[in-house]
């Protein structure tokens, strides 16, 4: 594999960098760089800026509004967005439900939903996990019973990320309980404004309202909102999860955070010298940097297979990427020490311009550390991903 970028790819990077330098609002960049909380309007505003440029869905086919970029160009775009500290384009619409719609939905569904996803006219959330069906997703119990031209949906979903903002939810539901559990699942698109839906917040350890429980009480969903065939939802679910896990590696973001960690460690003192010059701490940073470089090379190797969809390698990227993200947050808290202890929600939410503790860089780091405990769980826990790697890559 040739790891050198071509002249055309280098020119493309310059074009992307110029766009970001010109169009990324300074207030959004500051929030991302300083690990402050993003509001719904922050996500939507950035999405619409990128959509206006025609770059909101780089991986989509051109006929649906995609860019026509190669996999290397898409990697460059993601790398530069991370470097510039943009808000993320949320994956639930663009990278998760949209590929399923493109691959399995009918023409009417594609014509209606895809343009709305592209322009962020609909905010999507994911209805997969349940209290008794997380990594063992096929054990889900939310039911959808056919009643004429509607399904009647009853049950509960949990850990529904940013569901409090959502217009739509894509849901796995059980439509046949008499067959093997993987074979009785269907894929429904549900309007969150439908009567019978209740969203209840789950407040996390960092006191942020990021995830939710969603309850369905006799919710009537048109049969026309079924994607593909009834009872074939497990196939669509696995297709979607491959796209989700590929993005979880987040190499570009980790590279940005590594730079932040080094700057942080240079500002902290140990025995009269910068902490980054301490041999023990420097060895930890160097080890992490080497591992991150290895992950980036693995990502480049995977994307070099142009035209192939995400395979079991996505599980490998998910496991290592999430582990390194957690290690980065651990080293940040270690570097900053007791200065990470004060908890200042007003500063994190942006209602106060500066931290009450006096150190704006340190103030968000404990919350950031706690929040990133989730990365080895969502998208399928790392233990489950290791089983996939063992069976599908190693053949054991």
pLDDT value at position 50? 98
User: How does pLDDT run across 319-332, given as a tens digit for each residue?
Assistant: 999 999 999 999 99
pLDDT value at position 392? 84
Residue 310, pLDDT above cutoff 60:
no
Among 133-147, 201-215, 237-251, name the one with the lowest average pLDDT.
Answer: 237-251
Q: 124-231: what fold?
A: Butyryl-CoA Dehydrogenase, subunit A; domain 2 (2.40.110)
Q: Report the chain's mean pLDDT, rounded to a whole number.
A: 92
Residue 351, pLDDT above cutoff 70:
yes
Q: Comparing C-alpha atoms, which of 53, 28, 58, 55 is closest to residue 40? A: 28
Cβ(278)–Cβ(266) below 8 Å: no
- The mean pLDDT of 72-91, rounded to a whole number, is 95
- Domain chopping of the chain, boundaries: 7-89, 124-231, 245-394
316 against 333, higher pLDDT: 333
d(CA 258, CA 251): 10
Q: Comparing C-alpha atoms, which of 293, 368, 284, 294 is closest to residue 326? A: 368
Cβ(116)–Cβ(104) below 8 Å: no
Q: How far is CA 90 from CA 72, 124, 217, in A?
A: 21, 9, 28
Question: Residue 345 CA to chain centroid, in angstroms?
Answer: 23
pLDDT value at position 246? 54
User: How does pLDDT run across 38-81, given as a tens digit for each residue?
Assistant: 999 999 999 999 999 999 999 899 999 999 999 889 999 999 99
Among 164-173, 260-269, 314-323, 325-334, name the one with the lowest average pLDDT.
Answer: 314-323
User: How does pLDDT run across 108-137, given as a tens digit for each residue?
Assistant: 999 999 999 999 999 999 999 999 998 788
- The mean pLDDT of 93-99, rounded to a whole number, is 95
User: How does pLDDT run across 226-244, given as a tens digit for each residue?
Assistant: 999 999 999 998 887 765 5
Question: How many CB atoms lie under 10 A from the CB of residue 48?
Answer: 14
Residue 87, pLDDT above cutoff 60:
yes
Question: Residue 378 CA to chain centroid, in angstroms?
Answer: 9
Q: How far is CA 84 from CA 17, 163, 255, 259, in A?
A: 8, 27, 11, 12
- The mean pLDDT of 169-175, rounded to a whole number, is 98
Q: What is the CA radius of gyration of the chain?
A: 22
Q: How far is CA 377 from CA 279, 326, 384, in A?
A: 33, 12, 9
pLDDT band at 2; cut points 50, 70, 90: low
165 against 309, higher pLDDT: 165
- The mean pLDDT of 202-225, rounded to a whole number, is 95
pLDDT value at position 312? 77
Alpha-helical regions (H) of the chain: 7-23, 26-33, 40-53, 71-84, 91, 98-104, 107-118, 233-248, 251-267, 279-303, 313-336, 345-349, 365-371, 382-388
pLDDT value at position 364? 95
pLDDT value at position 243? 57
344 — alpha (psi -120 to 50), left (phi > 0) or beta? Answer: beta
Neighbouring C-alpha atoms within 13 Å toward the C-beta of 210: 14
Q: 245-394: what fold?
A: Butyryl-CoA Dehydrogenase, subunit A; domain 3 (1.20.140)
387 against 80, higher pLDDT: 80
d(CA 391, CA 396): 5
């Amino acid at each position: 594999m040739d790891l050198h970028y071509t002249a055309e790819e280098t020119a493309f990077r310059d074009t992307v960098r110029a766009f970001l330098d010109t169009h990324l609002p300074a207030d959004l960049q500051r929030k991302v760089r300083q690990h402050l909380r993003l509001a719904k309007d922050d996500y939507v505003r950035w999405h619409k800026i990128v959509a206006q440029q025609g770059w909101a869905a780089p991986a989509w086919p051109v006929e649906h509004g995609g860019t026509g970029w190669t996999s290397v160009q898409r990697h460059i775009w993601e790398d530069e967005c991370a470097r510039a500290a943009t808000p993320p384009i949320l994956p639930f619409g663009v990278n998760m439900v949209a590929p399923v719609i493109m691959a399995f939905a009918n023409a009417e569904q594609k014509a209606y939903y895809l343009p709305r996803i592209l322009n962020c006219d609909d905010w999507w959330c994911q209805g997969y996990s349940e209290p008794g069906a997380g990594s063992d997703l096929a054990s889900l119990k939310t039911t959808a019973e056919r009643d004429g031209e509607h399904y009647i949906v009853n049950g509960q979903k949990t850990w529904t990320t940013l569901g409090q903002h959502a217009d739509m939810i894509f849901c796995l539901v059980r439509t046949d309980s008499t067959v093997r559990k993987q074979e009785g699942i269907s894929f429904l698109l549900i309007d969150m404004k439908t009567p019978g839906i209740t969203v209840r917040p789950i407040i996390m350890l960092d006191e942020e309202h990021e995830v939710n429980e969603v309850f369905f009480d006799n919710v009537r969903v048109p049969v026309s909102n079924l994607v593909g065939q009834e009872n074939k939802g497990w196939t669509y679910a696995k297709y979607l999860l491959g796209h989700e896990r590929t993005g979880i590696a987040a190499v570009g973001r980790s590279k940005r955070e590594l730079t932040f960690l080094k700057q942080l460690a240079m500002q902290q003192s140990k025995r009269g010298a910068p902490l980054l010059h301490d041999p023990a701490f420097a060895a930890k940073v160097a080890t992490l940097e080497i591992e991150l470089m290895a992950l980036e090379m693995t990502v480049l190797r995977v994307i070099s297979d142009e035209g192939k969809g995400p395979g079991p390698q996505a599980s490998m990227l998910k496991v290592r990427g999430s582990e390194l993200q957690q290690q980065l947050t651990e080293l940040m808290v270690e570097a900053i020490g007791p200065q990470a202890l004060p908890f200042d929600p007003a500063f994190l939410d942006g209602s106060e311009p500066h931290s009450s503790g006096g150190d704006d860089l340190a103030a968000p780091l404990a919350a950031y550390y706690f929040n990133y405990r989730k990365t080895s769980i969502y998208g399928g826990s790392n233990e489950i991903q290791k089983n996939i790697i063992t069976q599908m890559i190693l053949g054991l």
